[in-house]
Each structure stands twice: as C-alpha cells, then as structure tokens.
Amino acid sequence: MNPTIELLKSHRSIRKFQDRRIPRELFEELIRAGQSAATSSHVQAYSIIHVINPKNREALAELSGGQRYVAECSDFLVFCADMKRATDAAARAGAEVVRGMTEQLLVASIDTALVAQNVAMAAESEGLGLCYIGGIRNNPADVSELLRLPDHVYPVFGMCLGYPDQTPEIKPRLPLASVLKEDYYQDERDAELVAEFDATMHTYYHVRTGGNKDTNWSEQLKPLFTSKLRPHMRDFLRGRGFEMK
Amino acid sequence: MNPTIELLKSHRSIRKFQDRRIPRELFEELIRAGQSAATSSHVQAYSIIHVINPKNREALAELSGGQRYVAECSDFLVFCADMKRATDAAARAGAEVVRGMTEQLLVASIDTALVAQNVAMAAESEGLGLCYIGGIRNNPADVSELLRLPDHVYPVFGMCLGYPDQTPEIKPRLPLASVLKEDYYQDERDAELVAEFDATMHTYYHVRTGGNKDTNWSEQLKPLFTSKLRPHMRDFLRGRGFEMK
C-alpha cells in the first residue's frame, strides 16, 4: 500500500480544529489541486465561495443546523454547482443556450463533487483535516442570498478546513462485496451483508460511547428516509434556474 | 508541494492503455480507497459494477458513443448512484420509507462522485491511468438493462482503468480567480477571465494539433448548450424511481 492510498484510507471527518490558520499560499495550492480533477466536457461547472467575513461564518453555522465548526475552522468553503459561467461563455460566443436541463444539474453537481474531493485529499496530504457540510442544503435559499449566488448556481455543500484538534476513529464502511458487483447488479446477498455491517457498526458505536449508544447502520438510516429529507430541494432548485427539464 | 498534491495536479485523462491487467489485489485496494471517501450521513449511496464480460464491454463501448477504450482498458467500472441499498435497509429496520426525493438524487450522485474520485486518485498513485465516461448517460436505459440495475439505482458515469500507453499534455484549467470567490459570488471579471482562458485554450489546441485546431473554450462549449444535451435524463431518472419529488 503506497502512502497516497494509505492517506485515502485514513480519512475521517474532523470537527474540532486548532486555533491556527492555513497559510494563504497553501490554501491556494489546495484549490489548484481541486481544479485538476476531471471535468465533464471541460465545463468546470463549479465555483467555490471562500467565506471569510466572521458574521457570515456565524450565520452559515446556524443555517447549517448549528454546526459550530463552520464558524471555528480555519477556512470555510461553500462548493457551488455553477452552470452560469459556462452557459454565459457559450452565449457570448454566439450559442443559443438552453438552460435548466436535468443533465446540466447532474454535470454541475458531479463536477463540484470531484473538485471538492481533490481539495479534501490535498488538504489531508498536508496534515489538515476537513469535514463536508451537507447541512448547507438545510436552508439553501438563505445561504444563496447570503452568498449572493445568481441563477444557475446552487450551494452543493460546505467544507470546513483546518488543523485537526482531534483524532477520531476511522468509521467503518460497507463490506466490499456489498458495493462492488461483477457484471450485473446482484443483491441476493445484500440483506446478509447489511446485517454483517449492522453488527460492525453496533460494535463501533458501543465502543466509541462506552456502551451508551445501542444502534446500528440500518437504525441510523431510518430518520433519513421516513421524514422527507430536505423536501424543499426541488422547488429551491427550480427557482434558481435548475428546472430539471 | 508534496507528492500527493503533485500527483493531483498531474491528472490527465488516459484513453490508450497497455495490454496489461491490473492485479486483482491492487484492484480491490483501489475500491477500498474509494469507499473511504466522505459520505452523506454515512449512507454510502453507490454501487460499482465491474464489467468483465467482453460482450458487455463491447456493448458499453458502443452505447457510450463508440469509445473504444471502454472495451480495451484493463478494467471498466460503472459507478451507480444507489438509493436502493440504504432505503431497503431502513425499511427492513421498520421505517416507512419515502423514496424519489430530489435530495436523494443529489446525495446519491454526490456520494458516487466522491468515491470515484478517490478510486481515480488511488489508481494514479499506482501509476495507472483512467478516464471518466460520462457517455454512459447517452443511453442510460440500455446501460441499465445490460447491467440489470433495479429501481433507485442509476448509472452516473463509467471509468476506464489501466496502465497508460500515452502521456497526453495536462489540460489547462480556468484561472483561479474565476472559480474561487471571496465571501460573495462576484462575476464582474468573469468575461475578462474567460477571455484570458479562451486565449490559453486556443494556444493549447493550436500547439497540440500542429496548428490544425482553431478553437477555444467558449467555442468548444457551444454545442453542449445549444442542443439539449441528453434531454432523456429527466424521464429516464423518473422511470427508475428518481422522481425528483
């Protein structure tokens, strides 16, 4: 196992950071490493908002569901899917641009995720820690207003970056056989593999909480799918020009 | 610049591969590195189809728009957004599951992209090359049938993996100032920065083709947005249980 793969496999989310800033030069290097990710048809359909204003950091921490590390980490980024830049460029070049296609939402969301994962990796390779903030989609309209996002741009997730002040355990992942399938989608063994993983996660939670957390993977998933998770997303996206045509 | 960041910044798509197989042990290591990526609420909403059957590889090469390397590379993967496993697990645990939410489409697509980018990175760290195959979405219904994908699973993109038999130039990226914005979305300088990038890309194409390709970034984008790119995606997704509710 080479050091890069070792690094990838040692990922854990960091939510407690030292009071120490990331040097600007290194910060820009992380973003450039992000930009090197693959991009669909070279569209580079993303923008990254680097939130520096402390009031806005506080506001975003609240809007994300009271996640203090959004305000406390060294650098906070909001990764946005951006179909504006590329479609504007094509329009200036004389194209009669069609916007709001479902495919464009996918391309922009995927491009954004690839860039972010490169930034994450680059950060970890420098001893930094990070966590993704999906909670940015709890109140995407307010977030968009705060960051003055125009139409055809939407906030996909945030990312806290900084020097770690904790070393949490690595969270287990599903058995390989559950996610890797040969030639066809086969799920005959899925219930069994999930039961195995439930046992793994039960032990993980039990040990980590000194016996106080009696749960497993399937149980933890229940609230995510019983209530309608972020039911505002469709109308929010439509209102921002991602009409899913 | 540390070796990992150097590696990230040296990414280029590889479309010509040596006739040499990736050892199984290494292959599984790449997938495990992929699994270590961050995942929204630990749902791990993806499955990876490892397409081995040569007939299916040929079929996928055609379905992706005649991309020969899909058939020729050492290993071909189809990364699928998978909301089935997690929602089934929650249902077995007693949840009254709601499916087809727009948010679930986003979560699964993003989870899938993060895993894939980790696999890509792990592969490159071992001297392998890769390219993403977005063309898998040209005919997603046929691809889904071939791979027997059930409802709540859709093919996001493919990935060719293998030992490179070419060393293409690194493709330039947009200026940092165009994608990184401070505190707010500011695009006053966007037209100017895009013009600068158009000049960069014009030179890149000119040099790479010995003067035969007279184009730039904006021009290259035009056909993507004038015709409705993959206009089937909305109905395809809806038909597979991603109803974007």
pLDDT in tens, B147-177: 999 999 999 999 999 999 999 999 999 999 9
| CB atoms A121 and B231 under 8 Å | no
Amino acid at position A103, single letter: E
Instruction: Answer whether A174's CB lies under 8 Å from A141's CB.
Output: no
Chain A residues in contact with B60 by the CB 8 A cut-off are: none
**Per-residue model confidence as pLDDT tens digits over B101-134:** 999 999 999 999 999 999 999 999 999 999 999 9
Residues 98-157 (B) with a CB less than 8 A from some CB of A: 98-99, 101-104, 106-107, 109-110, 113-114, 116-118, 120-122, 125-126, 131-132, 134, 137, 147-150, 153, 156-157
Interface A:B, Cβ pairs < 8 A: 364
Residue B142: how many other CB atoms lie within 10 Å: 13
Q: Report chain A's terminal Cα–Cα distance, integer Å.
A: 45
Chain B residues in contact with A28 by the CB 8 A cut-off are: 176, 180
Q: What is the DSSP string of B22-63?
A: PPHHHHHHHHHHHHTS--GGG---EEEEEE--HHHHHHHHHH
Q: Give the contacts of A16 (CB within 8 A, at least 6 positions apart).
A: A69, A164, A165, A166
Strand ranges for chain B from DSSP E = 46-51, 75-82, 129-133, 153-162, 180-182
Quick check: A1 pLDDT over 80?
A: no
| CB atoms B187 and A150 under 8 Å | yes
Chain A residues in contact with B33 by the CB 8 A cut-off are: 5, 8-9
Q: Mean pLDDT, chain B, as a whole number?
A: 97
**Cα distance between residue B123 and residue B139, in whole Å:** 27
Strand partners, B78: B49, B158
Chain B interface test: which of A2, A4, A53, A148 (most B C-beta within 10 Å): A4
Residue B192: how many other CB atoms lie within 10 Å: 12
Going by pLDDT thresholds of 50, 70 and 90, the confidence category of residue B236 is very high
**Per-residue model confidence as pLDDT tens digits over A166-212:** 999 999 999 999 999 999 999 999 999 999 999 999 999 999 888 88
**Cα distance between residue B80 and residue B85, in whole Å:** 12
Type and span of the H or E element at A162? strand A153-162
CA distance A69 to chain B (A): 17
Q: What is the pLDDT of residue A228?
A: 80
Q: What is the pLDDT of residue A229?
A: 87
Give the β-pairing of A46-51 and A75-82. Answer: antiparallel
Q: Does A25 touch chain B (CB under 8 A)?
A: no
Quick check: B234 pLDDT over 80?
A: yes
**Per-residue model confidence as pLDDT tens digits over B36-69:** 999 999 999 999 999 999 999 999 999 999 999 9
| CB atoms A9 and B3 under 8 Å | no
Write the residue in B9, B90, B174 that is nearest to A33 by C-beta: B9
Residues 27-46 (A) with a CB less than 8 A from some CB of B: 28-33, 35-38, 40-44, 46
Helices B102-125 and B24-35, axial angle in degrees (round to 10): 140
Q: Does A242 touch chain B (CB under 8 A)?
A: no
Strand partners, B184: none
What is the pLDDT averaged over residues A17-28?
A: 98
Tokens coding B141: 């219904």
What is the pLDDT averaged over residues A67-71?
A: 97
Q: Report chain B's terminal Cα–Cα distance, integer Å.
A: 45
| CB atoms B109 and A113 under 8 Å | yes
Q: Which residue, chain included where needed, has tokens 């390779």?
A: A125
Asked whether the CA dihedral A114, A164, B176, A64 is positive or negative, the reply is positive
DSSP, collapsed to helix, strand or coil, labels residue A155 as strand
| CB atoms B225 and A87 under 8 Å | yes
Asked whether the CA dihedral B17, B21, B25, B31 is positive or negative, the reply is positive
What percentage of chain A exceeds 90 in pLDDT?
96
Amino acid at position B20, single letter: R
Reported pTM: 0.98
**Cα distance between residue A186 and residue A184, in whole Å:** 6
Strands across the sheet containing B153-162: A180-182, B46-51, B75-82, B153-162, B129-133
What is the pLDDT averaged over residues B219-234?
A: 92
What percentage of chain B exceeds 70 in pLDDT?
100
Quick check: B1 pLDDT over 80?
A: no
**Cα distance between residue B114 and residue B109, in whole Å:** 9
DSSP, collapsed to helix, strand or coil, labels residue A51 as strand
Going by pLDDT thresholds of 50, 70 and 90, the confidence category of residue A227 is confident
Give the β-pairing of B75-82 and B153-162. Answer: antiparallel
Angle, CA of B57, B58 and B63, to the nearest 5°: 95
What percentage of chain B exceeds 90 in pLDDT?
96
**Cα distance between residue B117 and residue A116, in whole Å:** 10
Quick check: B227 pLDDT over 90?
A: no
